[in-house]
Structure 1
Amino acid sequence: MKIMLDAGHGYKTPGKRSPDGFQEYEFNRSVANQAKKLLLESYKDVKVYFAHSDKKDVSLKERTDKANRLDVDLYIAIHANAQGAGGWTSARGIETYIHPSKPKIASALAKRVQKNLVIATGLTDRGVKTSDFHVLRETKAEAILIECGFMTNREELKLLRSETFQKTCAEAIVKSIQEQFKLVKITPATKSSSQPKSTKPTPSKPTNEKIYRVQIGAFKDRKKAEQLMEKLKKEGYDAIIN
């Protein structure tokens, strides 16, 4: 399965900042990086591509053109939300977008992502919504766009800045992809070092000395056998009864 992750916007995108200057791209790229790592390390037959770049702002057309050229199966755009004209607001919560045509698979995935993110983060459920966003309209693959909380909300901005929250979002997104597309988990090979070492006895050194064994009699009556054994011991011989 080929998956494209899109950390929305870029370092230089105008206006994509919290009122105190936190760049949305910092959150988006962290979630994308952690999601990629989880996907590649945990599941078989998965390829992950980035639509964005740390070196430059990538236009929306470049992003969708790349996805279509690579013929990816899934396109996930990761964002942090905002409201208003640059100041703090009370808007809060998580929402996930699909194209107004409501493609069946994308719709199902969006519902899973929305549910898992809300459960994992405890934030307000703003639901699955539709929008004619470029990345949803122009990408041939199944495409969704996720808004993981408001950077114009003081409380949620604290979360968006947190590495723990970023990882939680990445895990919820990956969990949803796995559930929707039945990705097969990689089973680590058992390391030989973890297996108990065999304890073989040390072989005795060969010797040329010959040993002769002597058996004296066989008895049905154990008492007679014991009497003979005692007699032999008195004579200085080692004797046992088998």
Structure 2
Amino acid sequence: MKIMLDAGHGPETPGKRTPDGKMREFEFNQVVVQLMKMELQKCGVIVLLSHLGTSDVPLIERTTLANKLGVNAFISIHANAFGSSWNDVSGIETFTYTKPSSHSKILSKLIQDSMCSTTKRTNRGVKRANFAVLRDTKMPAVLVECGFMTNRAEAALLQSASYRNLCSNAMAHAILSWNKKS
């Protein structure tokens, strides 16, 4: 199996940070992607990254690369936000395209279930959206929101090594389970 991991927004994407500025979303995304890569490679999965994180890479370049390389799945990792100030919105949600393939549906459900059971965060469900990384990829694709940077409790989790490990292990486990089913 060959998958592409996408560390969500790049390091310079404006506004993608905790309200107190202590963490940029990319910091979380990049660490989780690297942890997932190591875990999946131990199990024989070929893991490719959509960008190295040294600069912002346009979405079209990421999806074009995934399509060109013919990966089996595209997984985009994110930390969520509701507005730009602290609030009580919390939880995990996973997105597929508005017209998802059956493989995307299965992968998204496995990831959502694994993330919620592992992290014990609120299950906000699998949702559909017209995001470029979901729409423009030719393979099963999901976008995972691992918690809200605008929620104080989840922001603290998103900054912790233990939570980052939980997220990476939960998603890697779901991807491996999906590979066995597809």
| CA positional deviation for 1:52 | 2.1
| CA positional deviation for 1:77 | 0.2
Residue matched to 1:181: 179
Task: Select the structure of larger CA radius of gyration.
Answer: 1
| CA positional deviation for 1:133 | 0.3
Given candidates 109, 124, 127, the residue that maps to 1:126 is: 124
Gaps of at least 5 residues in structure 2 are none
Correspondence 1:72-221 to 2 at 5 A: 72-84=71-83, 86-182=84-180
Which whole-Å CA distance do the structure 2 matches of 1:130 and 1:149 have between them?
Answer: 17
| CA positional deviation for 1:11 | 1.1
CA RMSD of aligned residues (A): 1.0
1:47 aligns with 2:46: yes
Residue matched to 1:230: none
Which whole-Å CA distance do the structure 1 matches of 2:162 and 2:180 have between them?
Answer: 26
Which whole-Å CA distance do the structure 2 matches of 1:12 and 1:122 have between them?
Answer: 31
Q: Which of structures 1 and 2 has the larger relative contact order (alpha carbons within 8 angstroms, sep 6+)?
A: 2
Which whole-Å CA distance do the structure 1 matches of 2:61 and 2:54 have between them?
Answer: 14
Which whole-Å CA distance do the structure 2 matches of 1:20 and 1:139 have between them?
Answer: 34
Which whole-Å CA distance do the structure 2 matches of 1:81 and 1:15 have between them?
Answer: 12
| CA positional deviation for 1:162 | 0.4
Residue matched to 2:10: 10
SS in 1 for 2:62: helix
Q: Check whether the contact 1:10–1:53 (CA below 8 A) recurs between aligned residues.
A: no
Residue matched to 1:65: 64
Q: Check whether the contact 1:77–1:146 (CA below 8 A) recurs between aligned residues.
A: yes
Which whole-Å CA distance do the structure 2 matches of 1:165 and 1:108 have between them?
Answer: 24
Which whole-Å CA distance do the structure 1 matches of 2:10 and 2:178 have between them?
Answer: 29
TM-score relative to the length of structure 2? 0.97
| CA positional deviation for 1:61 | 0.6
Residue matched to 1:235: none
Residue matched to 1:23: 24
Which whole-Å CA distance do the structure 2 matches of 1:73 and 1:106 have between them?
Answer: 11
Gaps of at least 5 residues in structure 1 are 184-242
Counterpart amino acid of 1:13?
Answer: T
Counterpart amino acid of 1:124?
Answer: T
Which whole-Å CA distance do the structure 2 matches of 1:175 and 1:54 have between them?
Answer: 24
Which whole-Å CA distance do the structure 2 matches of 1:26 and 1:131 have between them?
Answer: 24
TM-score relative to the length of structure 1? 0.73
| CA positional deviation for 1:140 | 0.7
Which whole-Å CA distance do the structure 2 matches of 1:139 and 1:155 have between them?
Answer: 34
Higher strand share: 2
Counterpart amino acid of 1:122?
Answer: K
| CA positional deviation for 1:130 | 0.2
| CA positional deviation for 1:53 | 2.1
Q: Check whether the contact 1:8–1:52 (CA below 8 A) recurs between aligned residues.
A: no
Name segments (4+ residues, structure 1) moved above 6 Å: none
